[in-house]
Amino acid sequence: MERSIETKCLHLEETEGSTINYGAISYPIYQTATYAHSGVGKSSGFDYSRLQNPTKEHLEKVVASLENGTDGFALSSGMAAISLLMELFKPGDHIIADSDLYGGSIRLFRNVSEKNGIEFSNIDCYREDIEKYINKNTKAIYIETPTNPMMHVTDIAKTSEIAKKHNLLLIVDNTFMSPYFQNPLDLGADIVVHSGTKFLGGHNDTLAGFLVTKNPEIAEKLQFLIKTTGAGLAPFDSWLILRGIKTLGIRMEKSQENALKIANWLKNQKAVTNVIYPGLPEHSGHEIMKKQARGFGAMLTFGVKNKDFAFSILEKVRMIKFAESLGGVETLITYPVTQTHADVPQEIREKNGITENILRLSVGIENSNDLIYELEKVFHETERELSG
Ligand SMILES: *Cc1c(COP(=O)(O)O)cnc(C)c1O
């Protein structure tokens, strides 16, 4: 019987029953840069930690197993993973990328990849006809679903049919859902990207990034690139992410439960103009999410009546932290316009609807009553001050 994902977060089938490492339950941290050889032409399988390290390799196997892939690669950050991915392409190649992506990905594509000769078309993959943008030199489609921060939902299986028909790679940044809720490889994606800093690590304490595939050719190229460019995850950070993953299931369930409660609370606030959470039945992507994911996640975006109101919320929150990042046990509130999406050109931000009135919440695992109590207090004080 195929093990459930909660169990896979804790147990890697292939190492089970093995008595290596004194039977340690927690995988050891192999804090070593290099490995001794017992003779010429002999190797333990580990030669140098830029190429392979046992702790990193164990983590890569765990993440690959969670995404139902065959090969996983652990990088020093999400952006290191996406930068490495771009090395699969050459000058003159064209990529269709969603127009609403993590700000750092947009910055990388516009400022680094374009300089290196890669061309991009940025479109709303959730609603535009992708095929219209495919040219002779198109090599890949790059999406997030739901997108950051506007929570647009793209049908992964449908997009993968288009990709396959035109011989393109479908790359899905699955950070927002985590493998606990969504597995793009099962829906036809070729490569899954994660910022492991977020839900996988889950504790706002470690940067990491992942690439996962089940295509042996892609895996071989990535293996070569990681050894050549050298942005692999360090042993201690690998261990921290391994430890984080053990509780992925209960964290995702609890933060999702809190997110739905907060979304419903926000909907009833006079000052709130819109609540964008795919778990709400009125969200345009709700039905697609039900089809392609096992949940709706813990990320939600909402609009308030004006910029002053947004500023006041950011200044008044105490337990909820006004901070960049997401996916940790602590609830964070983010102001995309000056934080995650500050480097995205204003016209693109406006087109995507990222205005000065938009706030993003990454809901953590606190007691939901305490979260709502704080929001109530902050909203109430803001109403009073702004009307006075
Ligand atoms: C944070 C994030 C990234 C970048 O990851 P880092 O670990 O911060 O480098 C990429 N994609 C998404 C969706 C993210 O949220």
Instruction: Give the global pTM.
Output: 0.97
Contacts of 50 (CB under 8 A, 6+ apart): 227, 230, 232
- Ligand 1 neighbour 173 (Cβ under 6 A): yes
Q: Can you read off the two tokens belonging to residue 161? A: 């049919």
Amino acid symbol at 44? S
Question: Which one of 85, 145, 175 would you pick to mutate in the ligand 1 pocket, going by the greatest count of ligand atoms within 8 A of its CB?
Answer: 175
- For ligand 1, atom 12: residue with the closest CA: 102
Q: What is the pLDDT of residues 293-321, one digit of tens each?
A: 999 999 999 999 999 999 999 999 999 99
For ligand 1, the distance from its centroid to the CA atom of residue 269, given in whole angstroms, is 30
Residue 2 has pLDDT above 90, yes or no: no
**CA 186, 192, 195, 201: dihedral to nearest 10 degrees?**
40
pLDDT band at 205 (very low <50, low <70, confident <90, very high): very high
Answer yes or no: is the C-beta of 81 below 6 A from any ligand 1 atom: no
pLDDT digits (tens, 9 = 90+) for 215-251: 999 999 999 999 999 999 999 999 999 999 999 999 9
- CATH superfamily entry for domain 249-387: Aspartate Aminotransferase, domain 1 (3.90.1150.10)
Q: Which atom of ligand 1 is nearest to the CA of 207?
A: 7
Same topology between domain 5-245 and domain 249-387: no
Torsion angle, alpha carbons of 332, 240, 298, 86, to 10: 100
**Pair 243, 251: CB distance under 8 Å:** no
Query: What pLDDT score was predicted for residue 19?
Result: 65
The upper half-sphere exposure of residue 306, i.e. CA atoms within 13 Å in the direction of its Cβ, equals 5
Q: How far apart are CA 161 and CA 29, in angstroms?
A: 42
Task: Say what percent of the chain tops pLDDT 90.
Answer: 90
| Dihedral, 125, 169, 210, 144 alpha carbons, nearest 10 | 0
Torsion sign, CA atoms 304, 306, 309, 313: positive
200 lines ligand 1 (CB under 6 A): no
Segment (H or E) for 61: helix 54-66
Q: Which residues are marked as active site? A: 50, 102, 173, 198
Two structure tokens written together for 285: 């992507």
The percentage of residues in the chain with a pLDDT greater than 70, rounded to a whole number, is 99
Tokens of 105: 């990905």
Residues 6+ apart with CB under 8 A from 211: 72, 73, 75, 81, 84, 85, 191, 192, 193, 194, 222
Asked whether 334 lines ligand 1 (CB < 6 A), one says no
Task: Please report, for the chain, the start and end positions of each structural domain, with discontinuous segments joined by +.
Answer: 5-245, 249-387
pLDDT at 115 over 90: yes
Q: Whose CA is nearest to atom 4 of ligand 1?
A: 78
From the CA of 82, give the closest atom in ligand 1.
10
How many residues are listed for the chain in this entry?
388
Q: DSSP label at 308?
A: H
Model confidence pLDDT, tens digit, residues 331-355: 999 999 988 888 888 888 888 889 9
Is the shortest distance between the CB of 209 and ligand 1 below 6 Å?
A: yes
Report the SS3 class of residue 259: helix
* Amino acid occupying residue 24: A
Structure tokens belonging to residue 377: 């207090």
- How far apart (Å, rounded) are the C-alpha atoms in residues 13 and 11? 6
Ligand 1 pocket residue status of 100, Cβ below 6 Å: no
Q: At CA 333, angle to CA 330 and CA 337, rounded to 5?
A: 145
Phi, psi of 134 (to 5 degrees): -80, 125
Q: What is the pLDDT of residue 250?
A: 98
Helix (H) or strand (E) holding 276: strand 272-276
Q: What share of the chain is helix, strand, coil (3-state, %, to 5)?
A: 40, 15, 45
Distance 184 CA to ligand 1 centre (A): 17
**Across 192-198, average pLDDT:** 98
Rama region for 51: left / alpha / beta (φ>0; ψ in -120 to 50; rest): alpha
Distance from Cα 198 to the centre of ligand 1, integer Å? 7
pLDDT digits (tens, 9 = 90+) for 270-294: 999 999 999 999 999 999 999 999 9
What gap in Å lies between CA 19 and CA 5, rounded to an integer?
Answer: 24
Contact yes or no for 322/174 (Cβ under 8 A): no
Q: What is the pLDDT of residues 124-135, one digit of tens each?
A: 999 999 999 999
- Indicate the CATH number of 5-245 among 3.40.50.1000, 3.40.640.10, 3.40.50.300, 3.90.1640.10: 3.40.640.10
Q: Residues with Cβ < 8 Å from 333, sequence gap 6 or more?
A: 313, 314, 317, 320, 321, 322, 323, 359, 360, 361, 362
The number of beta carbons lying within 10 Å of the beta carbon of residue 37 is 12
